[in-house]
């Protein structure tokens, strides 16, 4: 297993033969093509733009205002308009409660459950609220309906002050939401025209909720900046995002149709959801694409671990590992030792978790599963920024290698049209 080292992410490659020279020309061509189209549809490639410090500062000021006037920020959005923010928030917040520098951030408009809306309204009735509605098109059904509910709620509760408490993140120039914001005088933040939803976590789409949750957005952007520089290489030898993309492509061509992203920290479960959308919506078209799935170990070793080890040989795994997790707990020594666990009392939980990871990798390789490993130094804002950019860059390379367009999602519109047709009939 060849091993490579970038400053912030360590990629260990699976035991498969890859003739890298077969890919060097196409990778380099796609790399340069991306640069050509970045003004049209990939504005994040050379992110951040000049003066981004000003954007970050204004977002931080807004977050400070929200934190001093509210106990809860309700974020309305679906798909790329909420997954990135929630992924970072959950990854970096305590399991129970919120960061000491942040407030509770909850999400609506990502489903059509009436019970969810009702329960959310119940849960915030005694708390001070701000609202952030996020929609690039401004017409997506789920967030639009939720915004109608919460806008009325804010108006009834805060009267004219509601105008100060509703923040709109949308397109700079067009859309229903843009018109509402203009008419009502809500504060607005812009989703750049050339950044699609699932690539928008480094824009106000992700940054406002992340900052309100108490996470350092400056460090988050620093991590992304480092990745943008290090992964701006057309040479496949030097670009680990592109190597990861090529490995995926090679495995797909060998019949491995499902990728499992595997983590050992439950707080990454929503990061998995962000990753699934990124790859699923970008690659899954024209009857092609790796199916992105994810598992949280060790929990899932006790549910679908059996299938992974011995089921149909269609899976490959990408293990995601953060070496340093801030909090840990020791295994206690017990003088009675009735459970016969004292041998383990020299370890902490995180140490055993790490060893469980190594054991799973060995077992799965033995079971014939190709294993990729991505290792990061620390679970913090900086490395999350690095990792998200890494995956975004890998995803567009991977999609173009499959000859599909990573920036559209025509299949999603089919469901919307069917639903709208049925709604009209009724």
Q: Which is nearer to ligand PA5, 147 or 400 (CB)?
A: 147
CB atoms within 10 A of CB 324: 12
Q: How far apart are CA 254 and CA 14, in angstroms?
A: 13
Q: Which is nearer to ligand PA5, 216 or 281 (CB)?
A: 281
Which member of 13, 226, 259, 281 is catalytic?
Answer: 281
The question of whether 182 is a catalytic residue gets the answer no
Give the C-alpha distances (Å, rounded to integers) separating 354 from 215, 298, 369, 420. 26, 10, 19, 48
DSSP 301-357: GGTTHHHHHHS-TTEEEEEEEEEE-S---BPPP-TT-TT--GGGGGSBHHHHHHHHH
Smallest gap, in angstroms, from Cβ of residue 282 to ligand PA5? 8
Question: Which residue reads 């106000």 in tokens?
Answer: 204
Peptide bond into 298 cis (omega under 30): yes
Pairing status of strand 258-263 against strand 9-12: unpaired
The question of whether 272 is a catalytic residue gets the answer no
Pair 374, 319: CB distance under 8 Å = yes
Q: Which is nearer to ligand PA5, 205 or 251 (CB)?
A: 205
Please tell me whether residue 136 binds ligand PA5 under the rule CB under 6 A: yes
The question of whether 281 is a catalytic residue gets the answer yes
Footprint on residues 140-169 left by ligand PA5 (CB under 6 A): 140, 143
The piece of 79-87, 236-244, 321-329, 332-340 that touches ligand PA5 (CB under 6 A) is 79-87
Q: Which is nearer to ligand PA5, 40 or 57 (CB)?
A: 40
Q: How far apart are CA 387 and CA 384, in angstroms?
A: 5
Please tell me whether residue 31 binds ligand PA5 under the rule CB under 6 A: no
Total residues binding ligand PA5 (CB under 6 A): 14
14, 79, 204, 206: which one contacts ligand PA5 (CB under 6 A)?
A: 79
Please tell me whether residue 135 binds ligand PA5 under the rule CB under 6 A: yes
Smallest gap, in angstroms, from Cβ of residue 207 to ligand PA5? 15
Stretch 176-205: interaction string toward ligand PA5, x if CB under 6 A: --------------------xxx-------
Smallest gap, in angstroms, from Cβ of residue 66 to ligand PA5? 21
Q: How far apart are CA 178 and CA 162, in angstroms?
A: 17
CA proximity to 398, closest of 10, 22, 31, 13: 31
Q: How far apart are CA 384 and CA 409, in angstroms?
A: 25
Footprint on residues 252-281 left by ligand PA5 (CB under 6 A): 281
Catalytic residues: 281, 302, 416
By CB under 6 A, name the binding residues for ligand PA5: 78-81, 135-137, 140, 143, 196-198, 281, 409
């Amino acid at each position: 297993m060849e091993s490579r080292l970038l400053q912030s992410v360590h990629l260990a490659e699976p035991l498969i033969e890859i003739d890298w020279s077969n890919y060097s020309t196409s990778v380099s061509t796609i790399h340069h093509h991306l640069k050509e189209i970045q003004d049209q549809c990939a504005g994040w490639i050379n992110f951040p733009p000049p003066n981004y410090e000003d954007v970050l500062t204004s977002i931080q000021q807004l977050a400070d205002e929200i934190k001093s006037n509210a106990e809860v920020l309700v974020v309305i959005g679906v798909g790329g308009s909420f997954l990135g923010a929630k992924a970072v928030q959950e990854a970096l917040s305590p399991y129970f409660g919120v960061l000491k520098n942040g407030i509770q951030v909850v999400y609506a408009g990502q489903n059509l459950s009436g019970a969810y809306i009702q329960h959310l309204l119940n849960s915030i009735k005694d708390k001070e609220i701000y609202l952030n509605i996020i929609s690039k098109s401004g017409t997506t059904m789920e967030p639009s309906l939720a915004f109608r509910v919460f806008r009325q709620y804010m108006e009834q509760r805060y009267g004219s002050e509601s105008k100060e408490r509703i923040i709109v993140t949308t397109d700079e120039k067009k859309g229903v939401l843009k018109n509402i914001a203009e008419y009502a005088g809500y504060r607005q933040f812009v989703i750049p025209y050339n950044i699609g939803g699932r690539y928008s976590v480094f824009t106000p789409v992700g940054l406002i909720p992340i900052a309100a949750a108490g996470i350092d957005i400056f460090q988050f952007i620093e991590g992304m900046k480092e990745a943008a520089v290090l992964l701006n290489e057309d040479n496949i030898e030097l670009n680990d995002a592109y190597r990861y993309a090529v490995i995926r492509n090679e495995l797909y061509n060998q019949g491995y149709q499902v990728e499992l992203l595997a983590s050992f920290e439950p707080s990454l479960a929503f990061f998995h959801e962000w990753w699934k959308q990124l790859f699923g919506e970008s690659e899954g078209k024209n009857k092609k694409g790796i199916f992105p799935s994810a598992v949280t170990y060790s929990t899932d070793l006790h549910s679908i671990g059996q299938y992974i080890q011995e089921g149909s040989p269609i899976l490959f795994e990408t293990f995601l590992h953060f070496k340093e997790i801030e909090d840990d707990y020791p295994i206690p020594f017990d003088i009675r030792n009735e459970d016969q666990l004292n041998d383990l009392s020299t370890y902490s939980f995180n140490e055993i978790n790490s060893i469980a990871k190594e054991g799973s990798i060995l077992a799965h390789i033995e079971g014939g599963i190709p294993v990729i490993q991505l290792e990061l130094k620390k679970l913090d804002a900086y490395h999350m920024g690095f990792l998200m950019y890494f995956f975004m860059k890998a995803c567009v390379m991977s999609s173009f290698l499959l000859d599909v367009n990573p920036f559209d999602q025509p299949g999603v519109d089919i469901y919307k049209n069917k639903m709208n047709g049925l709604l009209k009939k009724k």
